[in-house]
Amino acid sequence: MLSIHNLIKIYAGPVNALQGVTLNIGEGLFGLLGPNGAGKSTLMNTVAGLLEPTSGSITLDGADIVKDPRIVRRQLGYLPQDFGFFPDLTGLRMLELMLKLKGVDGPGGRHKIAQALLERVNLSHAAKRKVSGYSGGMRQRLGLAQAIAGNPRLVIVDEPTAGLDPEERHRFYRLLAELAKNRIILLSTHIVEDVATLCPRMAVIQGGRVVADTTPRAARAAIDGHMFEGFIPDDQLDEFSKHHSVTSAILSEGSTNRVRVHSADASAAPTGFASSLATLEDAYLVAILTSRSAELAAINSTGAAA
């Protein structure tokens, strides 16, 4: 169990990057959704022991990893969003180098471990091919191979499917799901499909706060019956958005938008809009919009009191 309690991180400025984050994460895949700048990277780097929190606690299976970050480093696999490769090395040599840097060895030596890891991520056929010739999906699988080297208890993956084509993305999904057995995988992303496909539990983070800690099914159910879809001309969209909670607006045929709206009062849907089945993306966007509205209300209240 990874337990995060009232985690706060304040950078110089001051910038409140994390504002009391509390999460309990068990074995399997846990999705962390949030827009850019929401605090996801700060949270992951703090959990990984790369940043010291201003206050709060983090424990992994009961061990305090804030007091002693070495505990988590010995049990951590990390696949950052921008994982660096040496393009002139083969996949096998690259992985052997990463094993050496991580201090991973075994009775059969690093060569044997690297071969087994490549087979695990379905890259044995490309072991002797230079990394420069790997596709985006193959590079991500190679990055995941180094992340699981040493059989870590906790694996953190940051935006792992960004830039992958649909086929490679779904191949990566299957691999992550397989690797999630008997370990904790924290998946940080802004791609809702990643979480909808992989994660039985999820959290939404916005402005350094957890604004939802739930399951994909419960998140959808919470807004079911409150989502509506219709069409709005492009030149009327700005005015329409002032009066309705628009979660998405997709331009259609150059001048009309297919618009999705959340209405807390199901009987107050915009004229001409039809009820629509709620999606996880809707639930995510509603959580973000609600959080921003609450922040704006708090700012206005503070300003009025002053």
Please provide the DSSP assignment of the chain as one string.
-EEEEEEEEEETTTEEEEEEEEEEE-SEEEEEE--TTSSHHHHHHHHTTSS--SEEEEEETTEETTT-THHHHTTEEEE-SS----TTSBHHHHHHHHHHHHT---TTHHHHHHHHHHHHTT-GGGTTSBGGG--HHHHHHHHHHHHTTT--SEEEEESTTTT--HHHHHHHHHHHHHHTTTSEEEEEES-HHHHHHH-SEEEEEETTEEEEEE-HHHHHHHHTT-EEEEEEEGGGHHHHHHHSEEEEEEEETTTEEEEEEE-SSTT-PPTT-EE----HHHHHHHHHHHHHHHHHHHHHHHHHH-
For the entire predicted model, the pTM comes to: 0.89
Query: Residue 292: its pLDDT value, please?
Result: 78
Query: Residue 168: its pLDDT value, please?
Result: 86
Q: Report d(CA 244, CA 268) in Å as an integer.
A: 10
Q: Report d(CA 82, CA 35) in Å as an integer.
A: 17
For residues 222 and 239, the answer to whether their CB atoms sit within 8 Å is no
Query: Residue 296: its pLDDT value, please?
Result: 55
Query: Residue 182: its pLDDT value, please?
Result: 87
Edge-to-edge strand list for the sheet holding 55-60:
15-25, 2-11, 55-60, 63-64
**C-alpha closest to that of 259 among 269, 267, 250, 268:** 250
Q: Does domain 2-90+135-220 have CATH number 3.90.1150.10?
A: no
Query: Residue 300: its pLDDT value, please?
Result: 56
The one-digit pLDDT tens for each residue of the chain (306 residues) are 999 999 999 999 889 999 999 999 999 999 999 998 899 999 999 999 999 999 999 999 999 999 999 889 889 999 987 778 899 999 999 999 999 988 888 888 999 999 999 998 999 999 999 999 999 889 989 999 999 998 999 999 998 888 888 888 888 899 899 989 889 999 999 889 999 999 999 999 999 999 999 999 999 999 999 999 999 999 999 999 999 999 999 998 788 999 999 999 988 899 999 999 999 999 999 999 888 776 655 555 555 554
**C-alpha closest to that of 60 among 195, 156, 204:** 156
Query: Residue 303: its pLDDT value, please?
Result: 52
- Listed in sequence order, the residues at least 6 apart from 92 whose beta carbon sits closer than 8 Å to its beta carbon are 111, 114, 115, 118, 127, 128
> What interhelical angle do 280-305 and 216-223 show, nearest 10?
70
Say how many C-beta atoms besides its own lie within 10 A of residue 281's C-beta: 18
Domain spans, the chain: 2-90+135-220, 221-305
- Listed in sequence order, the residues at least 6 apart from 53 whose beta carbon sits closer than 8 Å to its beta carbon are 7, 8, 9, 18, 46, 66
Single-letter amino acid, residue 159: E
